[in-house]
Amino acid sequence: MTIAIFLGALLGAMALGVPIAFSLLLTGAALMWHLDMFDAQILAQNVIEGSNSFPLLAVPFFMLAGEIMNAGGLSRRIVNFAMALVGHVRGGLGYVGIMAAIIMAALSGSAVADAAALAALLLPMMNRAGYDTARSAGLLSAASIIAPIIPPSIGFVVFGVAANVSVSKLFMAGIAPGLMLGLALWLTWWWLVRKENIQAEPRKSVVEIVGAFKEATWALVLPVIVVVGLKMGVFTPTEAAVVAAVYALFVSTVIYREIKLDQLYGLFLAAAKTTAVIMFLVAAAMVSAWMITVANLPNELITLLEPLLDSPKLLMLAFMLVTMLVGTAMDMTPTILILTPVFMPLVKAAGIDPVYFGVLFMINNAIGLITPPVGTVLSTVAGVGKVSMDEVTKGVWPFMVAQFALMFLMVAFPEIVMVPARWFYG
C-alpha cells in the first residue's frame, strides 16, 4: 500500500502538470498523511536540511564555471585545437566534436552547457561541409552527455550527497567510463561515415597545430588542475568547483579578455537561476527521501526483490532497466533524487559497491538526457542548432544504442569500471 501511495502521488501530481519539485513535496505530504503523522513543521525542517549540505556548494560554482567557459572563449579554442588535429580526415568534424566534448566535459560538468556550445560552434560548419544534418546533431547530442560522467560532474555531486557516497571517489571512478563513452561514439561515427563522400577540412601545418595548442593551453590546463588536485588530496570536490570557477574567470577576463566586467552580472545571474532550480529539487527531494525511510519502503522493496539479492548482476540489470524507463520521461536531477533513496538500501543489501553503482546509475541518467520524448539535451541542440526535434531524435539513435550497449557491458563485467577506478582513487 505504501508503494502504491508513493507512486500514485508522485505520478499523479506530475500528470497534472505540477512541477517536479512540488510533486516531490506533495508525495512526502501524502506519505505523512497515510502514516497519520502530518506535520507542516517536519516538512519545513526537511526542506531546509535538504539544501544544508557543504558538498552541494559545488553546484553553483560548477554552473558558474560552465557559463564563463562558454562566454569566455575557452570552448571555441578547444574546438579549434581539436580541428587542427583531426579536422582533415574523413568525417573529421565528427571526431572534432567528440574530442571537444571530452575536453569540455572536464571543464563544466553540465551536458546542457556543452550541448549548447558544440551545437553553436560545430553544427553550422558540419552543414556547410555536407554532413547529414540529423546525424551531425545526433552525434553532438550524444557527445555532450559525457559531461556528467567525467569530473567535475554536477550529477555526481547530487548523487553523492543523496546516497552518502564519497564524491571524490565518484569523480575518479567516472574518468575511464567517460573516455569509453567517447570511444564508443568514435567507433560508431567511423562506421557511419566510412563510405560517405564528405568534404574534409584542409590539413593543418605543424605550425598551425602548435599555434592552436598554444591558444588552447589555458583551457586545457584546467582539467589537469582539477583531476590532479583531487587525486593528490590538494582540495575537495567543493573546493575544486571554486578553483574551476575562479580559474575560468581569470582566464576569460585577464588572459583571453573576451568577458567584460559589465557581462559578469548576466553570467552570475544565469548560473544562479540554474542553481536555484537544482537546489530546490534537492531540498524538496529530502522530504520524500525522509518519508520513504520512515514508511519502511526500502524494506518492502527488499522483500519484493529478495530473489535478486543473491545475484548482484541481475539486480543491477533491473536497476538499469527501471532507470532507463524513468529517464524517458524525467530529467537527470529529479531521477537521481527520486530513485537514489529507493535503490541504495537494495544496493547495500546485495553487497554492490556504491561507487560502481553510482557510475552506472549516472551513465544511465546521462543517456536519459538524449532519450525521447523528453531529452533535455536533444531540445538544446535542436534550439541552438535551428534543427527540428524530429531530425535530432532520428540522428541520435545509433549513438544512443552504442552508449547503452557499453553500459550493459559494464553491468556484465564490473571490472571495466572498478579496475581503473581503484587505480585513480588508490
- Is the pLDDT at 357 greater than 90, yes or no? yes
User: Is residue 262 domain-resident?
Assistant: yes
| Mean per-residue pLDDT over the chain, rounded | 84
pLDDT in tens, 71-126: 888 888 888 888 888 878 888 889 999 998 998 888 777 788 888 888 888 888 88
Split at pLDDT 50, 70, 90, the class of 187 is very high
pLDDT in tens, 111-151: 888 888 888 888 888 888 888 899 999 999 999 999 899 98
User: Is residue 3 domain-resident?
Assistant: no
Closest CA to 418 of 346, 312, 308, 307: 312
Q: Domain range holding 357?
A: 39-425
- Is the pLDDT at 367 greater than 80, yes or no? yes
Greatest mean pLDDT range, 30-34, 207-211, 264-268, 360-364: 360-364
User: Is residue 24 domain-resident?
Assistant: no
User: Is residue 33 domain-resident?
Assistant: no
Lowest average pLDDT, out of 47-61, 173-187, 339-353, goes to 47-61
Between 257 and 129, whose confidence is greater?
257
Specify the number of domains making up the chain: 1
Mean pLDDT of 279-305: 71
Q: DSSP letter string over 300-327?
A: HHHHHTGGGTT-HHHHHHHHHHHHHHHH
Neighbouring residues of 190: CB distance < 8 A, sequence distance ≥ 6: 91
- Is the pLDDT at 219 greater than 70, yes or no? yes
- Is the pLDDT at 319 greater than 80, yes or no? yes
Distance CA 426, CA 421 (A): 8
pLDDT in tens, 383-419: 888 888 889 989 999 999 999 999 999 999 999 999 9
Distance CA 282, CA 306 (A): 30
Q: Check residue 383 and give left, alpha or beta (phi > 0: left; psi -120 to 50: alpha).
A: alpha
- Is the pLDDT at 35 greater than 90, yes or no? no
- Is the pLDDT at 239 greater than 90, yes or no? no
**Per-residue confidence (pLDDT) for residue 191, from 0 to 100:** 92
Lowest average pLDDT, out of 125-134, 265-274, 287-296, 324-333, goes to 287-296
- The pTM for the full model equals 0.83
- Is the pLDDT at 360 greater than 90, yes or no? yes
User: Is residue 415 domain-resident?
Assistant: yes
Neighbouring residues of 330: CB distance < 8 A, sequence distance ≥ 6: 20, 338, 368, 374
Q: Which residue has the cell 560554482?
A: 61
Q: Which residue has the cell 498523511?
A: 33
**Per-residue confidence (pLDDT) for residue 415, from 0 to 100:** 94
Q: Which residue has the cell 529507493?
A: 342
User: Is residue 388 domain-resident?
Assistant: yes
Distance CA 98, CA 82 (A): 9
Mean pLDDT of 355-373: 91
Split at pLDDT 50, 70, 90, the class of 374 is low
Tally the C-alpha atoms within 13 A of residue 134's C-alpha that lie toward its C-beta: 11
**Per-residue confidence (pLDDT) for residue 298, from 0 to 100:** 63
**Per-residue confidence (pLDDT) for residue 12, from 0 to 100:** 82
Q: Does a cis peptide bond (omega within 30 degrees of 0) precede residue 237?
A: no
Contact predicate 126/144, CB 8 Å:
no
User: Is residue 279 domain-resident?
Assistant: yes
User: Is residue 196 domain-resident?
Assistant: yes
Distance CA 258, CA 76 (A): 11
